[in-house]
Structure 1
Amino acid sequence: MADDDRTYAAPPARRSIELGSAEALRLLGSVSLGRIVFTRQALPTVRPVNHVLVDGAVIVRTHERAALTSHTRQAHGTGVVVAYEADDIDPVTHLGWSVVVTGYAHLVTDPLELARYEALSLPWVDLTMEHTVRIRPDLVTGIALTAGDQADAT
């Protein structure tokens, strides 16, 4: 069958609705996997990681050889600007949500905090995670992708 002989069903109409910060953070806290974006050698770098949301901050555990560990360590007290994205989008309907948090990432050094975060999150890879990075959100954005009729589609 030639490509031009195929018929494709039009995808169902969807609407993109902006989420408020509180709702976006609530959704972010409902999943455990996301992607962290940071600059490495002047280029954007993306890494899949797992996270927990604690007191409004995104907590990511890392290992000694992780690029994120060395990058945040080099930043000293200022932290490094990062973006963190997580989503839950159905692969068939394309309905769901996506949230992006932008802020400064710092290595956590307080032993009590480290113990707390270690108890709250389990690594998703079989590595010892000796370090913890905390992202304090300065900007939180999110969208919900919902079903809608053709007149509502954006």
Structure 2
Amino acid sequence: MTDEAAYGTVDGPREGVAPRRMTRLDRTEALRLLGTVSLGRVVFTHDALPAVRPVNHLMDGRDIIVRLHDGAALTSIVAPTDTAGVVVAYEADVIDPDTHLGWSVVVTGYAHRVTDDRDLARYAATLRPWVQRAAMNAALRIRPDLVTGLRLTAEPAAGAEVAEDFGDGS
């Protein structure tokens, strides 16, 4: 059974909304898509409870970099540099609110504080805060371990002809 067959369509028929199909994204495509957006949500534990914060990010190779500032709840999760890090999840998506077509990616991995001054300066030049704050004084690096992604696409209309390219000029 293919991933497409396993997931089937999303929602039943609704007036004006084409049936949709959900397919899995492979790791490479999921991480590539994360690099096409700058906003996401980090999921972590704060005061022994689950917490979610919207943040801006950038990709540094395969790693996700998130801006930190003093007093933010995210600063409480930063582990000492000699540990494996703190497990977090990171989610970003682009879903059209009308058609419900698009994609969603969830990364689970270990978060570490960025300690290299050159890296911090480079990230500070790129990651802009949502609200005016003091200069960026820290960043969080999330190393992806588990990467999952889904793409929602429209199914072809019933009876629609699909063009085939046979590669022989026909």
TM-score, normalized by the shorter chain, greater than 0.5: yes
**56, 60, 67: which is aligned to 1:61?**
67
Deviates more, 1:30-39 or 1:126-135: 126-135
Mapping for residues 1-154 of structure 1, pairs under 5 Å: 9=15, 11-73=17-79, 77-128=83-134, 129-149=136-156
**CA–CA separation in structure 2 for the residues paired with 1:123 and 1:18:** 32
- Choose between structure 1 and 2 for higher RCO, CA contacts under 8 A separated by at least 6 residues: 1
Letter in 2 for 1:119: A
Structure 2, gaps ≥5 residues long? 1-13, 159-170
Question: What is the CA-CA distance between 1:123 and the residue it aligns to?
Answer: 1.7
Question: Alpha carbons of 1:104 and 1:28: their partners in 2 closer, same or farther (altered >3 Å)?
Answer: same
Give me the TM-score of the superposition, normalised by structure 2.
0.78
Give me the TM-score of the superposition, normalised by structure 1.
0.86
**CA–CA separation in structure 2 for the residues paired with 1:78 and 1:26:** 25
How many residue pairs get aligned? The number is: 144
Percent of counterpart pairs with the same letter? 60
Deviates more, 1:140-149 or 1:84-93: 140-149
Letter in 2 for 1:139: L
Question: What is the CA-CA distance between 1:78 and the residue it aligns to?
Answer: 2.6
Which one has a bigger Cα radius of gyration? 2
Structure 1, gaps ≥5 residues long? 1-7
Letter in 1 for 2:102: G
SS at match of 1:64: coil
Q: Is residue 65–residue 139 contact of structure 2 (8 Å, CA) maintained in 1?
A: yes
Question: What is the CA-CA distance between 1:125 and the residue it aligns to?
Answer: 2.2
**CA–CA separation in structure 2 for the residues paired with 1:98 and 1:18:** 10
| Aligned-residue RMSD, C-alpha | 1.9
**CA–CA separation in structure 1 for the residues paired with 2:62 and 2:91:** 15
**CA–CA separation in structure 2 for the residues paired with 1:73 and 1:79:** 5
**CA–CA separation in structure 2 for the residues paired with 1:81 and 1:73:** 10
